[in-house]
Amino acid sequence: MSSILIVTDAWKPQINGVVRTLERLSVELRSMGIRVEFLTPQSFHSIPMPSYGEIRLSLTLPHIVRGFIEKYDCDHLHIATEGPLGLMARQVAKRDGHVFTTSYHTRFPEYLQARYPVPLSFSYSWLRRFHNSGQGCMVATSTLEADLRVRGFDNLLRWSRGVDHQRFRPMRTSLLDHLPGPRFLYVGRVAVEKNIEAFLQLNLPGTKVVVGGGPQLEELKVAYPEVLFTGPVVGDELIEYYANSDVFVFPSQTDTFGNVLLEALACGTPVAAFPVMGPIDVIGNSGAGVLKNDLQAAALEALEVSRDHCRDVALRFTWRASAEQFLANAEYAYDPAFTAGFRQDLYAGKGSVGNHLNG
């Protein structure tokens, strides 16, 4: 396989785990000699998503999407999201007989229910039809895989995540020295589905810091004036926030993975979270954080976790291994019998796609 077209409704300037994952995937695949093309909302007129203006919804038609697919002429089609572009790409692929895979990044039914009274069964039924129509649906963790299987999703393929260990690293500076310690940090979208108020309402010593933007930002700034809200932060300044905080608190109960967990660990910052999908898979029994239904107790206990150990745990996750899993899954979509063995090796952390395909 020498070329892959990725269709995604989530793209820059959004700052989220889906965009970061796809960007890093393209870097790694290109370093492996794979041509990677993207079809994103940047190619179309778009409108803001109701109640979440940072997400743009593309205004286009299936025949226009077909034209892009034909122009890029890639060996494999991967549909990363279930938005307007993803839906039209799926329609074109089914009609034209293209082999394609999908990926399940976001617990959309839970996100939707947090805003509107839409039954989970309705949303999952729609998503099941979408993802079961391809040759494989990629999921980040075993916990998510088990959850979706119970809901009737099939042909699920594992695609884990990584972290840039050179960029996200211990970096002690004076950035937070003016704040009373200990410093408890949240990084991510400031939106209702992230359950941020479960963190903000905790009775913790020191200072709470929230890094990120989103539709709830202004509301929460008014409700919690004692909390430092920075808005969106990128680059080395973001790494400084991670590395100079004492505990990273992750209150979300709707994430499928949580890339920010790995970013915090890579900077040497222990995690406090609920024992749910995402934290269970990234932290688990690693000792790099504390998972409890009592988030306040978890945050206080995490103060005692070794920062060096957190870094060591993060080093187990690489973007190269993530990209190799993705490529193996794409190959599997064409020849399950040929690729099944080395996909299992990759899940277990053995071997590489290059060795299996070329050797």
Pairing of strands 52-59, 45-49: antiparallel
pLDDT of the chain, 359 residues: tens digit per residue? 899 999 999 998 887 889 999 999 999 999 999 999 999 999 998 888 766 566 778 889 999 999 999 999 999 999 999 999 999 999 999 999 999 999 999 887 787 777 777 888 899 999 999 999 999 999 999 999 999 999 999 999 999 999 999 999 999 999 999 999 999 999 999 999 899 999 999 999 999 999 999 999 999 999 999 999 999 999 999 999 999 999 999 999 989 999 999 999 999 999 999 999 999 999 999 999 999 999 999 999 999 999 999 999 999 999 999 999 999 999 999 887 655 555 566 555 555 443 333 33
pTM of the model: 0.89
User: Residue 229 forms beta bridges with which residues?
Assistant: 210
In the chain, the DSSP E strands lie at 3-7, 35-39, 45-49, 52-59, 76-79, 100-103, 137-139, 156-158, 183-187, 207-211, 228-231, 247-250, 271-273, 289-291
d(CA 25, CA 194): 25
